[in-house]
Chain A
Amino acid sequence: MSELSLNMQSHEEKQLFARRFALWIALGAILMMFAGLTSAYIVKKADSTTWTNFSIPDIFYISTLVIILSSVTMFGAQRAFRKGAMASYRNLLLATFALGSLFLALQIEGWMQLKAQGIDMVEEISGAFFYVISGAHAAHILGGLLILLIMILKISRRIKKENTEAYLTPGRKLNVTLMATYWHFIGFLWIYIFLFLLYNHN
């Protein structure tokens, strides 16, 4: 952001740009929390004498695939929105929402399988870390699904009206960008967590 463009903008324009900026800082804060959790994992593993290595159920590979796929549909939704194709934007959002929900369901199924393997939160500290870190991530997915739901409801109410041009205000465009950024971020976050857990369980 150069000094010049900063000077040219009005209060509202600055606020608009600032919202995107604020989201990135917020993502940094979320990342710090997971950095804290994974650091705790490393420290605990290093000084533990009774650490159990268990193999991660295969279903988590599938859920990883699903979350990557949901990012792809989200990219598609962004493209459709930019082109003004509101119907396909809504459909792709719905697809993203479905994939996100599927991801959550798969995570829960994965936790059940782990539990069936005898990896208990109370008994196994390595298991407890697994549940807590993936659970904290699932909470962020839940937040993302909520945002998606709001955006789907918003566009569904608008879609019958023809006037797409007037609908596309900078604020609404920005909202879509912010939603997509958050969604890609939590997808990326899961990949980081998954690789971290895989690495530490082999």
Chain B
Amino acid sequence: MSDVNTTMEHTHAEAGHHAHEAHHENFFTKYLFTMDHKMIAKQFLITGIFWAIIGAFFSVVFRLQLGFPNADLSWLAPVMGRWLTPDGTLDPNFYNALITMHGTLLVFFVLTAGLSGTFANFLIPLQIGARDMASPLMNMLSYWFFFLASVIMFASLFIPDGPAQGGWTAYPPLSYLQGQGMTLWLLSLTFFVASTVLGGLNYITTILNMRTKGMSMFKMPLTIWALFFTAVIGLLSFPVLVAGFILLIFDRSLGTSFYLSDLVVNGQFLDKGTGSPILYEHLFWFLGHPEVYIVILPAMGIVSEVLSVNSKKPVFGYRAMVFSILAITILSFLVWAHHMFVSGMNPFVGSIFVLFTLLIAVPSAIKVFNWIATIWRGNIRLNPQTMYAIGFVSMFISGGLTGIFLGNSTIDIQLHDTYFIVAHFHIVMGVAAFLGMFAGVHHWFPKMFGRYMNRSMAYMHFWVTLIGAYLIFWPMHYMGMAGVPRRYYSFDAFDAFSQFAGMNTFISVVAMIVFAFQILWVANFFYSIFRGRKVKESNPWGATTLEWTTPINPGHGNWPGDIPEVYRWPYDYNKNGHEFIPQTVPMEEGELEHEETPAPEKVS
């Protein structure tokens, strides 16, 4: 370290240096090849929104097929083109492509890159008191790898074979039998992993090394803790996915058979030796399960912060929140095989995975209890972000409870690959993570763009999304219990499932309405960037954390002067007669920290 200390003399003028930088920025360095973490966050957010619209549109198209089987979709011909059969119905192969792309885009491109990419980039330097990320260059590369992955994935929509059609899990041998679309899918996701790993490296390094004076780990807001563990999970699991992909790429392109055994396809015998598709499932789900926590943890962090700020109460059980995230992080690596109960695994091994899976209910329940206890008897401001955050808690409870059903191997064997599982994960990680993301965007929109989002539109969007999500996914539980399998193009051939035809139509109609209201939200988002009500005060929500001590529109470097020093934890709400006390306010004489118990009062 001694060599590093010698730079001290010529780096002290950094504040002036950063203010100076603003002068020679042009369009390209400011908006495209920027190294400012705030702009990179916006790039992630807007790319994520782009993919969210496409992914959601795909779901509407396949819901059309499910709700109105074999309906004439020729009016969609300008968009769908050759993916409609001559009589106007949806091509079954394209149906498979739609569900594959819907899953891939939403899980990876929106809820991983769009969610943690946005908020990790935006919040980490601002909330820990740093001028930028540890490596702004790596941060820029992280976005451009994501962009490259996006371009490849987008291109795959237009190639003659069509995009990948093997489900978002890309299980072999199905993924082996796919055309060029799957090749591009694998290539795109490899770049995606590069982006996530570069980002994650940076997030962890920044949080551990770049905190401002006084910002000890246990003075960090819960958003930072959540984003920190998200990055840890990503760094430990995504490389294993790459290992799995390398073997799959070899199988597909170089004739090996790691995952393939002898196959008969269309009456044709393929001599593929003795590979094991189960091997891929292990490698995939070793990422795949932690991935759901990569999706949900940032939303959890955002919700903790939003609920505390807007109920003007300290987060209930701050340390319990941190340690429950840690517990979830550790357990997330010990449960992957619960996706594989039907793969013929030893029931004893299965029972161990059941145990660990059910154990996750404990930290999850702690978190839910703490959120409710946080807002309990608080002075709640029901602004949009609070509504979204409460909606998150509701969704997380509903989806979490069905997780306990599915975690039991005995029940899972019946429910595996049915609509029950579709309902479960859409509620607990899809809708919940989205509500967390909406809460975050509404909460930090003033900091991102210096304007507010329109509240009336937000309330409308919230209620339609919340009620709509329940109307879409609640009935699916019953379909799943009746055995309706997921991913089927049509149920025409199954008399037993005809009783659900009406329910399917209903779900599809609701899905279209909810989709329309998501477009409303996007419209609100872009309208508000340019025309929203301007922010007049630097701390509009009355929050304690550091990002609200920056100017309304912070430049590169975040604070024009010195970086503020931190004296207290981030949740001093309703303390000593103050509604909130920012982290930068020194402790008063004799003031007790939140964890200290007051001395017993003297009896007079």
- Interfacial chain B residues near A12, Cβ < 8 Å: 7, 11, 14
Scan residues 17-39 of chain A and give those whose CB is less than 8 A from a CB of chain B: 17-19, 21-22, 25-26, 28-30, 32-37, 39
CB pair B138 A22 closer than 8 Å: yes
A40, B134: Cα distance in complex, Å: 34
- Interfacial chain B residues near A22, Cβ < 8 Å: 134-135, 138, 201-202, 205
> Contacts A26-B201, A40-B243, A132-B247; is A10 near B213 (CB within 8 Å)?
no
Is B206 an interface residue, CB under 8 A from the partner? yes
- Interfacial chain B residues near A17, Cβ < 8 Å: 1, 4, 209
Number of interface residues of B (CB under 8 A): 57
A132, B257: Cα distance in complex, Å: 12
A43, B345: Cα distance in complex, Å: 13
What DSSP secondary structure best describes chain A's contact surface? helix
- Interfacial chain B residues near A40, Cβ < 8 Å: 243-244, 247, 258, 279, 282-283
Separation in Å of the A197 CB from the closest CB of chain B? 16
Is A14 an interface residue, CB under 8 A from the partner? yes
Interface size bracket, A side: 35 or more
CB pair B283 A170 closer than 8 Å: no
B267-282 interface mask toward A, CB cutoff 8 Å, 1 = contact, 0 = none? 0000001111001001
CB pair B14 A18 closer than 8 Å: no
- Stretch from B80-88, B248-256, B485-493, B583-591 contacting the other chain: B248-256
- Interfacial chain B residues near A25, Cβ < 8 Å: 200-201, 204-205, 235
A12, B131: Cα distance in complex, Å: 10
> Contacts A5-B1, A10-B8, A36-B286; is A50 near B134 (CB within 8 Å)?
no
- Stretch from A92-100, A120-128, A152-160, A184-192 contacting the other chain: A120-128
CB pair A6 B209 closer than 8 Å: yes
Q: Which of B134, B236, B276 contacts A19 (CB 8 A)?
A: B134
Separation in Å of the A51 CB from the closest CB of chain B? 9
- Interfacial chain B residues near A14, Cβ < 8 Å: 130, 134, 209-210
Is A15 an interface residue, CB under 8 A from the partner? yes
- Interfacial chain B residues near A115, Cβ < 8 Å: none
CB pair A21 B205 closer than 8 Å: yes
Is A173 an interface residue, CB under 8 A from the partner? yes
A145, B196: Cα distance in complex, Å: 25
- Given A22-B201, A44-B258, A47-B276, 6 more A-B residue pairs with CB atoms under 8 Å apart are A3-B216, A10-B12, A18-B206, A40-B243, A49-B274, A50-B273
B interface list, Cβ under 8 A from A: 1, 3-8, 11-12, 14, 130-132, 134-135, 138, 197, 200-202, 204-206, 208-211, 213-214, 216, 235-244, 246-247, 250, 254-258, 273-276, 279, 282-283, 286, 563
24 A-B contact pairs sorted by A residue (CB < 8 Å): A5-B1, A7-B214, A9-B4, A10-B7, A14-B130, A16-B7, A17-B1, A17-B209, A18-B134, A21-B209, A22-B202, A26-B197, A29-B197, A29-B200, A29-B238, A33-B239, A34-B243, A36-B239, A37-B246, A37-B247, A43-B279, A122-B254, A125-B257, A125-B258
